[in-house]
Amino acid sequence: MASLQARRVKGHTYWHIVESRRVNGKPRPVPIAYLGKADTLLARLAACETLKIRSLSHGHVAALWHRAQQLDLAGIIDRELLSSGRRISGPGLSAAKPWQAPVKNDGLTVGQTLALAGIGRACHATSKRGFAGWACTTTLGELTGFDIEPLSSQHFWDQMDQVPVECIARIESEIVKRILPELDSPLDTLLFDATNFFTFIDSTNAHCALPARGHNKQKRHDLRQVGIALLCSRQSGIPLFHQTYGGEVADATCFAAVLPAICQRIVELHSSVEQMTVVFDKGNVSKANQKLLDQCKLHYVTGMTVASQPALVERANPLLGPVVLPDGNTVLAYRERTPIWGTQRTSVVLLSEKLRQGQMRGIMQQAASAQRWLDALSETLRRGKQQRDRTRIQRDIEQRLQGRQHLAEVLRYELSGKDSDLSLTHQFDQQAFERLASKTLGRLVLITDRDDWSTAEIISAYHSQAQIEAVFAHLKDPFHLAVRPQFHWTDQKLHLHVLICLIGYMLSRVVFLKSLKEGAPFASMESLLDALALVRRVKIARPSITGRGSIQVTTQLEEIDPRLSALLPVLGVLP
């Protein structure tokens, strides 16, 4: 048991805590803590009574800012604007001469502002107006040495105004060049896809042309939307190229428009177009697009609709054989050389049982919904309450069944009688459904010019599209990296907003890949960022034990999740 003892040294009394322990078999008092003189002890007790603590979220912003510094993200942006000869305007900025050095607004250069905005987007997807309120709950201001609190939405708008749209591609290219060497992964297969993001920009807003109505992939056809095309590395999932485009543009049209820029980006990354393979889905396939792809010498793996190649699918069905994929899964597939659009191409017909089961469930759900609608229509006709003529009713039924998952093939109906006495009967054709399931559903048709690849490699490459779809899923996450909400109403601001979101994604992705390399047990970037956000830095202010009115401030991290302890120094998260 510990006890408090005093010891006289040169006329002074010093207090310390001792424990009785056996030394050489005899009990001896062993000091375990020295407390000093009585005055010093009293000062320590008084300091504890006036202890002040301030705790801020630290881990996520520290990891991302550390990575941004290593990439020299702000410097890349500022140098690009400097080389473009931009003239600066805005509150407190001179418009008289081109940049000779990065010009600051509210103490920040444009590059620093965009870097902060990207970090904010990754950690907390809020508006530019809400940025300062969130950032003040973190150590971002202390880490960067910038005064975060006065940064208003006007500050971000003024800084974004300095970046012309034509500079975005060059900025992105330089950022990617800095990231790729850190990943140490080959760049030989690329993934391309496009999606759209609905906005709440008013239909009467004439300040922007990008937002437009089109086929929205989230079923918000009532709203204007903006499209984003993306090219990613298959190995790392890092975006290599993006293009923001009008919401009314179809995927296939967008692919044709960005293909030259994709080839240019490949060259900028010091790679050969002839050695690169791009993987894209069937939504981007057309005869004209395939001709462009053949001309630019870029290898490809893509898909086609089963309806466009019925003879090939019919030949393949009895010849499907097992193929073992690199991940160990086994699928059924058939491969041959096929003339498609005037050129012999390697084609693979793949049977996915998971896809087949999903399509079967979808048809049954659509059929059940359509039958309820037909039942209601039949009852209306029986009661003689229908005011439409036979031709109109016939057209409505056909429109209901067409364009949905094979409904016209599995639902049979008969509209009989005259306009004044119509009757409707319908039934589900089970035999037609089973025929579809055995001969059509679950099939995928792949085409490629990679004749040297094995069937397993072709299928695996096409399956890797899931990685770029995951990137879009991240960009639609409402808490991290979300493109929405966006509160910009001009095309230039919309272009910059997308770049900021992708900057946040790239920083997060690099941090996540680094954590995976260190064996961190996190399945996604979001879970890693959430865990890092719980790492808080604490400032403790107490009166100095020497007295004299001075304040002693110490900084430390709160108690840390054991899974993160070894990871933090690697990610640059320090007290």
* Contact (CB, 8 A) for 227 and 249: yes
Other C-beta atoms closer than 10 Å to the C-beta of 165 total: 13
Domain 168-352+442-476: give its CATH code.
3.90.350.10
Residue with tokens 């177009």: 273
Helix (H, G, I), strand (E, B) or coil at 191: strand
Q: Helices marked H in 84-152 — which ranges?
A: 110-123, 128-135, 140-144
**Cα–Cα distance, 235 to 184 (Å, whole number):** 10
How high is the pLDDT of residue 484? 77
**pLDDT mean over 507-533:** 92
Please report, rounded to a whole number, the percentage of residues in the chain having pLDDT higher than 90.
Answer: 55
DSSP state of 4: E
How high is the pLDDT of residue 94? 41
How high is the pLDDT of residue 230? 96
How high is the pLDDT of residue 381? 86
DSSP state of 570: H
How high is the pLDDT of residue 492? 94
Summary mean pLDDT of the chain: 87
Sheet of 225-233, strands arranged across? 239-246, 225-233, 189-198, 277-279, 299-304, 443-448, 343-351, 330-340, 321-324
Structure tokens at 209: 């042309």
**Structure confidence at residue 307 as a pLDDT band (50, 70, 90):** confident
192: alpha, beta or left, given left = phi > 0 and alpha = psi -120 to 50?
beta
How high is the pLDDT of residue 90? 43
Q: Helices marked H in 425-566 — which ranges?
A: 430-439, 455-463, 465-475, 491-517, 525-533, 562-565
The candidate with the shortest Cα–Cα distance to 162, out of 84, 49, 227, is 84
**Structure confidence at residue 199 as a pLDDT band (50, 70, 90):** confident
**pLDDT mean over 482-488:** 78
Residue with tokens 């202890």: 51
- pTM greater than 0.75: yes
- Residue pLDDT, tens place only, 438-464: 999 999 999 999 999 999 999 999 999
**pLDDT mean over 209-216:** 90
Residue 363 class from Cβ within 10 Å (0-12 exposed, 13-18 middle, 19+ buried)?
buried
Q: 426: number of CA atoms within 13 Å, CB side?
A: 24
**pLDDT mean over 38-61:** 74
Structure tokens at 123: 């950690």
Residue 344's φ and ψ, nearest 5 degrees, are -70, 125
**pLDDT mean over 231-247:** 93
The candidate with the shortest Cα–Cα distance to 494, out of 483, 478, 480, is 483
**pLDDT mean over 195-205:** 87
Tell me the domain boundaries of the chain: 56-163+483-575, 168-352+442-476, 355-439
DSSP state of 124: -
How high is the pLDDT of residue 550? 64
Over 70: is that where the pLDDT of 208 sits?
A: yes
AA identity, residue 104: K
How high is the pLDDT of residue 88? 44
572: alpha, beta or left, given left = phi > 0 and alpha = psi -120 to 50?
left
How high is the pLDDT of residue 49? 55
**Cα–Cα distance, 50 to 552 (Å, whole number):** 12
Over 90: is that where the pLDDT of 174 sits?
A: yes
* Contact (CB, 8 A) for 67 and 511: yes
**pLDDT mean over 299-316:** 93
**Structure confidence at residue 106 as a pLDDT band (50, 70, 90):** confident
How high is the pLDDT of residue 96? 37
- Residue pLDDT, tens place only, 393-410: 888 888 888 867 788 889
Over 60: is that where the pLDDT of 97 sits?
A: no
DSSP state of 217: T
